Amino acid sequence: MTRRCIAYGDCNTEGLREAPLALWPERVAIGLGLTLTNCGHTMSTTRELGRYAISHPPQGCDLAMVQYGLVDSWLTFRGAPYVLYYPDNPLRKLARKLVKKLKKRARQWHWHERLGAVEQVPEAEYRQRLEALVQSAPQTPFVLVDTAPNMDLPRNPRIQRYNAILAEVAASYDHVVYVATYDLLWQQRQQALMADGTHLTAIGHQLVAEQVLASLATAQTFPGSSA
């Protein structure tokens, strides 16, 4: 029987079509001898994760990998509309263009100051969606992987808060492991991050994959465990 794994995440899980390279989920799958289903989706959040968990559930997988937080932690104005990126259709694409224009105007009109600024996916919702996923498949091992640091420095305190939620959720479940990569990537940011300051380079993907494999190797009942 084919052993398989699944990855859920944003642009650093999906990779860039214009800059193809070996992604961290692919490297982990190869290292463990698993067949990979990659559900990474640029600009997606844990709201898309909820839809992916229905269309591509983690049940029956030998490993599920999760990396969200980059867009979840993005600041927007209070009450801002949100249009899902998955599943997609022409109407949603049009709606996102309109929302993008609205948010651009909102910055010009200083709506963040007038209405208040909030994360795209508030922390409580982020936690709830992660817990819903890991609770949906108690027999599937999960790894929750840090969101990478960003060269747009004001974003990093929020990214770190969302990474802390990953660690807290993982600590609450025996079948979940947290993989800390933020500090490692920050220490090697010149080599690990692309010039845009957001996307991982080949070195960055390799660092994340090595950290995931190392964490699994020391965790009991997980693929690749030495226990």
Q: Which contiguous run of DSSP H or E holds residue 55?
A: helix 46-55
pLDDT at position 227? 47
Residue 182 reports pLDDT greater than 60: yes
pLDDT at position 224? 63
pLDDT at position 226? 53
Query: pTM for this structure?
Result: 0.93
pLDDT digits (tens, 9 = 90+) for 84-141: 999 999 999 999 999 889 988 888 887 788 888 899 999 999 999 999 999 999 999 9
pLDDT digits (tens, 9 = 90+) for 217-226: 998 667 766 5
> Which residue in 174, 178, 58, 162 sits closest to 119, CA to CA?
162
Could you tell me the pLDDT band of residue 18, with boundaries at 50, 70 and 90?
confident
List the beta strands (DSSP E) in the chain.
4-9, 35-40, 63-67, 75-77, 117-119, 142-145, 176-179
pLDDT at position 19? 78
